[in-house]
Every structure is written in C-alpha cells, then in structure tokens.
Chain A
Amino acid sequence: MVQTFVAQVSPAREVPGIRSLPHPYWNPYLTGFLLGLVLLLTYAATGRGLGATAAFSAVSAWLVGLVSSAHVEANLVHARYWNEGAPLLSWTLFLLAGAVLGAFVSGWQGRRLALTVERGPAIDDNTRLMLAFAGGFVAAFGAKIAKGCTSGQALTGGSMLNAGSLVFMLAVFASAYALAYFVRKEWL
C-alpha cells in the first residue's frame, strides 16, 4: 500500500512550491525490516538490545550528582546509573546521541526538518506542550515500573519472546486505545 501520509508542519513556515514539501515516509514494512536489522546487529555486538529510558536515568543521575554525589550513591535507583562518577558515559545515552544524528540526517534528506509543534487543529501550541510534558512524566513512571519502554521491552524483549515484554506491549496498547477517545481533540 502506498503511504501518502506526510509530516504535519505549520503551513505558515512552508515556502510555497512543490520542492519544499516533505517527502513521503518509507514503506513501514521495509523500515520495520531495517529497524529489525539494527536490533539484530545490536544483539550480535553487545548481547543486549536497544533501549532509551536508561539514557534519561543517566542524565538524571548526573544532574542530581552535580548537587550531591553522596546522595546519588545512597539512592537505590540513581546508584545504578552513577557508573562510578561518570554517568554520562552511559551506553544508552550514546545510543540516543547517535539517534539524534541519524534522525536529523533522515529528516533533512526527507525535507521534514521544521521547528514546530505537532498537534491537531482543535488545541493550541501551549496546551499541546503542557500535555507533551505531562505525557513524558507519566511515561517515565511507566517505563521505570516496567523496567523498560517501547525500545527496551517491546522491541528488544519481544524479539526474544520475553513473556514480560509481551505483557508490557499488550498493556501499552490496551491503555492507549482505552484513553484515545478522551484525548482525541489533541490529535484529530
């Protein structure tokens, strides 16, 4: 099936003319296959899969460590990301640094770079930014409780048929589908 959906960018920022239009995304099955190869390569090289949340935990441990390293070392959760005083030398943080670069190149080549706020037409930018912040806050708790997010649990664990990862994935979709109706004004 041909994908006709293109990234939503504010029309006001668009220079008129066909050249400035974002390119269509790649076929989802092809992109999924490539993403699967990246995951396989990650397993083959490191024995662990992909992840994302640990990078946020590492930055958090670093920031709190700037105030008090003793506090970080005494905290059960922070201590795991302290890395003997070098929390920023986190594997997952470097993975995400690479991801910033890869996504930037892809977005640039696809003419999708745009300083904009993604939202439906029924809400304003500030509401959307507040909801995005709140969503990030809530997702952080979910990922910490489940010991992983879409990358670490769903993709990585799913490909090893990890029972907990499959339960996580089902719960994520169940919850989001159940709530989708109530936040439809944010998106549709």
Chain B
Amino acid sequence: MLPLSSTIEFSTVASLVIALLLGVGFGFCLERAGFGSARKLTAVFYLYDMAVVKVMFTAIVTAMAGLFVLSALGWMDLSELYIEPTNLAAQALGGLVFGAGFIVGGYCPGTSIAALATGRKDAMAFALGMLVGVTVFAEFTPGIEDWIKQGSLGEMTLPGLTGIGMGWWVLAFVAFLAFAGWGMGRLEQNFARLRPAH
C-alpha cells in the first residue's frame, strides 16, 4: 500500500538516499525545462514565453491525475499524505511577497539551485539572499509564526470544500490545461516582439 512511508519505517540513511535520488530527477527536470535560466523564468511575466506555466501546470495535473488513479485502484491511501494546513491570509500575503522576490530575484528557491548548479552567479546570489532571509525571519520575526498558527483552518482541499470528487477536478484541470495551452500559444505569438534577440 502506498505511500511506502505508511507501511515501512525508513531508516535515516534510506530516507536520505531516497531524497537524493528524487532530487536528481527534480533537478534534471527543472534544468531541462529551462528553469536554470532567470530570463527564461521571468519571460512568463512578459508573456513571450509561457514555459513556466506550461511546465508547472502540466506537472500539477500529471501528479493530480496519478494520485487519483492510484487511489481509485486502491493502491494508495490519500488520507496518509501530508497536507499543509490552509491559512488563507498567510498564504495570500506570503504569495504576494514571494511573487515580488521572484520577479526581482529571477528565481524561486528550487530553481535557484538548478541554476547555480549550471554556473549562474546570480542564482548563487539569490540562494545566499534566501539563506540570509530565512535566518533574519527566524531571528527577528518569530511573532509572525504565532500569527500564522492562530489563523490556521486545518486541512482544506477543493474536494473537501465543495463535495465534488477528485476525479471531476482532474477532468476539469485537464480540460483547462488544453484550453490554456491554446491560449498561451496565442499569447506567445502576440508578445513575440519582447523576446530578446540574443
């Protein structure tokens, strides 16, 4: 029964080896997608190259469909999966702040790692900024931590909120991806003039 962690107690070494192997796949995919390049990543915000949305959306829909199928076949118990508690205010505020860091810094935490691995010095600066940022957060703003905890609404998913089963959401997301794919192709044509010449 999946997840494996629900039936097997992994040793620390086994768990870290699994992390390392999954990380190789993670980093490979990010770099192959072009996410090791800040200009490719930020291109999505100037609409001439929508690869970031295409890759992320496809990854989300793939994993979502996979989880649904594994669960429908009785091979995976979705209730064993960890779900980050929802706190709408914290996630909205954090998202706004994070988005500012993304467009100014050119990376997100994971992609900065893929980029520094291929020699991007600005990615090293971003990662250093992240490290200083999490340290300053921990040292000087522990009060935010309390505020986040107080506003927690617990586990909250769309199927749980709406009563509409996960399978319908998977169908809706697949349909939306197909439509969005068409729309993004149009956007890229309309904004092609913003694409850097070199």
| Majority secondary structure, A binding face | helix
Contact A31 B16 (CB under 8 A): no
Q: Which of A40-65 contact B (CB under 8 A)?
A: 40-50, 52-53, 55-57, 59-61, 63-64
Whether, in the assembled complex, A115 has its beta carbon less than 8 Å from a beta carbon of chain B, the answer is yes
Contact A136 B127 (CB under 8 A): yes
Q: A8-B196, A25-B40 are in contact. Are A47 and B6 (CB under 8 A)?
A: yes
* Residues of A contacting B157 in the complex (Cβ-Cβ under 8 angstroms): 160-163
Contact A53 B28 (CB under 8 A): no
Whether, in the assembled complex, B15 has its beta carbon less than 8 Å from a beta carbon of chain A, the answer is yes
| Majority secondary structure, B binding face | helix
A141 to chain B, nearest CB (A): 5
* Residues of B contacting A11 in the complex (Cβ-Cβ under 8 angstroms): 198
Question: Which partner residue on chain B sits nearest A72 by CB separation?
Answer: B138
Please pick, from B12, B22, B142, B185, the residue contacting A41 in the complex, using a CB distance under 8 A.
Answer: B22
Q: A141-B137, A161-B157 are in contact. Are A46 and B3 (CB under 8 A)?
A: yes
B63 to chain A, nearest CB (A): 4
Contact A139 B101 (CB under 8 A): yes
Binding site for A on B (CB under 8 A): 2-6, 12, 15-16, 18-34, 36-40, 42-43, 45-46, 49, 51, 54-64, 66-67, 70, 76, 78, 80-88, 90-123, 125-139, 142, 144-146, 148, 153, 155-159, 161, 166, 169, 181, 185, 188, 194-196, 198
Binding site for B on A (CB under 8 A): 1, 3, 5, 7-8, 11, 25-26, 28-29, 31-50, 52-53, 55-57, 59-61, 63-64, 75-78, 89, 91-92, 94-108, 110, 112-121, 125, 128-180, 183-184, 186-188
10 further A-B contacts with Cβ under 8 Å, apart from A98-B19, A143-B98, A175-B99, are: A5-B43, A25-B34, A40-B70, A47-B81, A96-B110, A103-B118, A160-B67, A165-B86, A171-B93, A172-B102
